[in-house]
Amino acid sequence: MTVFEAASVPGEAPPADSVAPRESSADAPTSIARLNATIRDFVAQWGTVWVEGEITSWNVRAGNVFARLKDTRSDAQISIRLWSSVRARIPADLAVGDHVVAAVKADYFVKAGDFSFTVSAMKHVGLGDQLERLERLRVQLRQEGLFDPSRKKPLPFLPHVIGLITGENSDAEKDVHRNAELRWPQVRFRTVHAAVQGDRCVPETLAALKKLDADPDVDVIVIARGGGDPQTLLGFSDERLVRAVAAAATPVVSAIGHENDHPLLDDVADLRASTPTDAAKRVVPDVGEQRALVAQLRARATTRVSQRVAHDIAQLEQLRSRPVLRDPDPLIERRAQEVWLLAARSRDTVGRAVDAAGRRTAELRASLRALSPAATLARGYAIAHRDDGVIVRDAADAPAGTALTLTVDRGSLRALSEGEIAESDATDATNPARPESAAPLKAGASDPAPAEGSDARR
């Protein structure tokens, strides 16, 4: 509470802040600040009050709500404010026109002189304890992520079999069949009837959902029911059914009631249809539209292919018009002349190299023939060696009786040594009058033969 201190001056009017509103007069007025503070302190004593009314305006600003409530029996209205923390605890579907009860506390703003009420709780009138529990369940399921769009499964483009859960001989069943068959005549249904209201609604719908979800032929499941009052639709907000739909492996479409009906099943289903008729239109494609689309795509493909072929033909004609492709003979002839010149030059170079190599080979062959021991043997010399392989270079190495092998120009022969020949006999052996065959046989002990024979053995 604001405290105003009096600071009066004798003989003058007291300051306005020091004058209480009840004690004010024309000569001693009170201040606006004190008046507003007095009003604020007074209304603060009222505490929280429950009021009933109709929402006439509902403006959301930065998470807070500024609204007005109108009396249901007169034109009286009040201004209300709901802070963001309170808004998270009240039903999310509150809107203009709703009949509500609210817990309000008077609040008077001293600075602006505005009078309004702060709301701490609000609920629909007549919603009842059961619907209040459903709203709390809605908040809980939203917090668990069951309403998150990322977890919803996409519907197949063209389901082979549609599972339908609805009441027996109901208008909803007829609407779904009729509209689906008008869009795609070959569509097939697998229908399981269940009670759509009352105590049997939830268990029968759960059993039908379990049966269709286990059927591998069913591509999508539609749960359909016609409109009704909120009490008859409570079964489709049952927590067991809602969690079963969220856990189903097959995509589920909710088609409950009309556009304004909003059970929890709509929030958790993979697709929400406003009516059973809307469900049929959204589950199967329109055959006429698909044919038109196919025709359009074929026309576009034909146009693109024709354009590509025409472009490639133009490119080919452009390439063919180039001189190198229009008359390629000169290019080939120039290359042929170059190849012929290179081949002739190669033949000439290889021929000279072969001739030089031949001459060099002949020279080496002649040198080898001149240096070869075979040339010496061809002149009539022989090489003598004992059986142990030792070449006889000294007559003393072959005493009488020593077996010798004599190698001549063509072949070898065996000989038996008669000992060293006297010097006079050796001179006679070199006499030309003697037969040529005698000299080489005695020459085995002469000096030149062993030397050449030694080179031959090596």
The SS3 of residue 154 is: coil
Q: Where are the alpha helices (DSSP H) in 111-252?
A: 128-144, 171-183, 201-214, 239-247
In this prediction, residue 119 carries a pLDDT of: 92
For residue 344, the number of C-alpha atoms closer than 13 Å in the C-beta half-sphere is 6
By percentage, how much of the chain surpasses pLDDT 70? Answer: 86
pLDDT band at 294 (very low <50, low <70, confident <90, very high): very high
Beta bridge partners of 295: none
Pairing relationship of beta strands 77-82 and 48-61 according to DSSP bridges: unpaired
Q: Is the dihedral of CA 323, 328, 334, 338 positive or negative?
A: positive
- Identify the residue whose tokens are 């180039």: 322
Q: Is the pLDDT of residue 8 over 90?
A: no
Q: Which two tokens stand for residue 129?
A: 């304890």
Q: Is the pLDDT of residue 252 over 50?
A: yes
Q: Is the pLDDT of residue 443 over 50?
A: no
The SS3 of residue 54 is: strand
List of E strands, 283-402:
383-386
**What's the rounded Cα separation, in Å, for the pair 456 and 111?**
138
In this prediction, residue 13 carries a pLDDT of: 63
CB 118 within 8 A of CB 78: no
pLDDT band at 257 (very low <50, low <70, confident <90, very high): confident
Q: Which of 401, 382, 378, 380 is nearest to 391 (CA)?
A: 382
For residue 453, the number of C-alpha atoms closer than 13 Å in the C-beta half-sphere is 28
Mean pLDDT across 332-351: 90
Mean pLDDT across 263-291: 90
End-to-end CA distance of the chain: 138
DSSP single-letter state for residue 149: G
pLDDT band at 334 (very low <50, low <70, confident <90, very high): confident
In this prediction, residue 306 carries a pLDDT of: 94
pTM: 0.44
Q: Is the pLDDT of residue 444 over 70?
A: no
**What's the rounded Cα separation, in Å, for the pair 334 and 143?**
85
Q: Is the pLDDT of residue 232 over 50?
A: yes
Q: Between 261 and 346, where is the model more confident?
A: 346
Q: Which of 226, 76, 54, 59 is nearest to 126 (CA)?
A: 54
CB 108 within 8 A of CB 125: no
In this prediction, residue 453 carries a pLDDT of: 40
Q: Which two tokens stand for residue 105?
A: 């506390």
Q: Which two tokens stand for residue 110?
A: 């001293």
Q: Is the pLDDT of residue 107 over 50?
A: yes
In this prediction, residue 129 carries a pLDDT of: 58
Count how many residues are written for the chain.
Answer: 458
In this prediction, residue 215 carries a pLDDT of: 94
Mean pLDDT across 426-439: 49
List of E strands, 84-187:
99-109, 114-124, 161-166
Q: Between 250 and 383, where is the model more confident?
A: 250
pLDDT band at 380 (very low <50, low <70, confident <90, very high): confident
By percentage, how much of the chain surpasses pLDDT 90? Answer: 34
**What's the rounded Cα separation, in Å, for the pair 167 and 223?**
10
Residue 90 CB coordination number (10 Å) = 20
Phi and psi at residue 130, to the nearest 5°: -65, -45
**What's the rounded Cα separation, in Å, for the pair 221 and 246?**
12
CB 250 within 8 A of CB 213: yes
Question: For residue range 384-431, what is the model confidence (pLDDT) as tens digits?
Answer: 888 888 888 888 888 888 899 988 888 889 999 888 887 766 555 555
Pairing relationship of beta strands 412-416 and 403-407 according to DSSP bridges: antiparallel
Mean pLDDT across 426-451: 44
Q: Which of 34-48, 176-190, 271-285 has the lowest mean pLDDT?
A: 34-48
DSSP single-letter state for residue 305: H
Pairing relationship of beta strands 412-416 and 114-124 according to DSSP bridges: unpaired
In this prediction, residue 192 carries a pLDDT of: 94
Question: Helices 201-214 & 239-247, crossing angle to 10 degrees?
Answer: 10
Mean pLDDT across 68-80: 87
Mean pLDDT across 76-95: 86
CB 440 within 8 A of CB 434: no
In this prediction, residue 446 carries a pLDDT of: 37
**What's the rounded Cα separation, in Å, for the pair 118 and 79?**
9
For the chain, what is the mean pLDDT? Answer: 82
Q: Is the pLDDT of residue 434 over 60?
A: no
Q: Is the pLDDT of residue 290 over 70?
A: yes
In this prediction, residue 271 carries a pLDDT of: 94
Q: Is the pLDDT of residue 381 over 50?
A: yes
Q: Is the pLDDT of residue 228 over 80?
A: no
In this prediction, residue 241 carries a pLDDT of: 93
Q: Which of 38-47, 80-89, 275-284 has the lowest mean pLDDT?
A: 38-47
Pairing relationship of beta strands 188-193 and 161-166 according to DSSP bridges: parallel
Q: Which of 154-168, 193-207, 359-373 has the lowest mean pLDDT?
A: 359-373
- Identify the residue whose tokens are 């008669």: 418
Which contiguous run of DSSP H or E holds residue 412?
strand 412-416
Q: Is the pLDDT of residue 235 over 80?
A: yes
Phi and psi at residue 457, to the nearest 5°: -65, -35
Q: Is the dihedral of CA 245, 251, 257, 263 positive or negative?
A: positive
In this prediction, residue 217 carries a pLDDT of: 93
CB 128 within 8 A of CB 76: no
pLDDT band at 87 (very low <50, low <70, confident <90, very high): confident
Q: Is the dihedral of CA 443, 446, 448, 453 positive or negative?
A: positive
pLDDT band at 365 (very low <50, low <70, confident <90, very high): confident
DSSP single-letter state for residue 52: E
